[in-house]
Amino acid sequence: MKIAVQHLADGWTHSVMRLMRERWRGAAGVVDRPTDAALWECGDEAAFAELYDRYAEAVWNHAYRLTASWSTAEDLTSTTFLTAWRRRHEIRLVHDSALPWLFTVAANLARSEFRRSSRFQRLLHRVPPETTERDHADQVASSVDGERRLREVLDAVELLPRAEREAVELVLLGELPIASAAEVLGVAEVSVRARISRARARLRNLIEGQS
């Protein structure tokens, strides 16, 4: 299966993303729910629980795309929200959505806590917190193949310069709009587009080199 993710050009992705975006982008267009900013300002557990309910699925899927492992994605998602809670005074809402910032937290954690290769970290993070979801038998083969391909992509992304890697993680892996990525990264949209363009070229060479 080959899914083209070029700014949500693919029909399947586009339709799914359109449905999910309405939920992910927070309360900007929803009148009967408090905005992300309002929830964040509350700063209490109930408000944070609401934010978790809003974005858990999005962060979980993004975490998988950052790690190529569903069990690690669980750890990463949980840790992302814990970290977000601890660092909530640092949050940067983008168009009243906490999601871009949560993606950034997840990406930083993935690099610092889940992908580093020190022996101890490998040992420690090999410990599953609880039982992980198992794929159905008929899904195992395609799942393994998909994870292998995703790992190849992630290995290549890891080799990108930091600025390009951050843009790729948000725009290509996270499928955030260029404008949101630019705001959370604190750069102009044109810079993000340039980074993505350069990254695509590098990734092509890297992935073709791998194969």
Partner 1 sequence: MNIELPPRRQLPPEIKERMRPTITRARPRGRAWMGAAAAAALVITGGVFLTQSTQQHEPAPFAAVSADLARCREALRDDRWSVVNTLELRARKVLVGIDGRLCELTRTRVTAFDAAGATAVRTPSGLVVGRPPVQARSMTAHQHDPAAPRADWSPPTVITLDLFLVDADPTKPENSTLTMEFDGHQVQLTFGDIPVRGTPQDSYSNDASTAHSANLLDRCLDNAIPKRAAPGFENDWQAGAMTGVPGVLLARNGKGDWGVCEVDDAGSGALTGTIARNPAASGVEVLHRGWVAGTGTFTIAGLAPAGTKVELDLGGGTVLAPPLPITLGSFALQHRFAPAANPPAGAMIKLVNSANEVIYIAPVA
Binding site for partner 1 (CB under 8 A): 1-6, 12-13, 16, 20, 44-45, 48-49, 52, 56-57, 60-61, 64-65, 74-75, 77-79, 81-82, 85-86, 113, 116, 118-121, 123-130, 133, 146-147, 149-150, 153, 172-173, 200-201, 203-204
CB of 185 to partner 1, least distance (A): 19
Are 54 and 24 contacting, i.e. CB atoms less than 8 angstroms apart?
yes
φ, ψ of residue 186 in degrees (nearest 5): 75, 30
Q: What is the dihedral of CA 134, 140, 142, 147, to 10 degrees?
A: 50
Residues linked to residue 94 through DSSP beta bridges, in sequence order: 97
CB of 211 to partner 1, least distance (A): 12
Tell me the two tokens of residue 125.
């993070």
Please say which residue, 32 or 208, places its beta carbon nearer to partner 1.
208
Please say which residue, 31 or 133, places its beta carbon nearer to partner 1.
133
CB of 184 to partner 1, least distance (A): 20
CA distances (Å), origin 198, targets 67, 80, 152, 193, 202: 23, 29, 18, 9, 6
CB of 186 to partner 1, least distance (A): 21
Please say which residue, 92 or 116, places its beta carbon nearer to partner 1.
116
Q: Helix, strand, or coil here: 131?
A: coil
Please say which residue, 27 or 172, places its beta carbon nearer to partner 1.
172
Tell me the two tokens of residue 60.
């979980």
CB of 64 to partner 1, least distance (A): 7
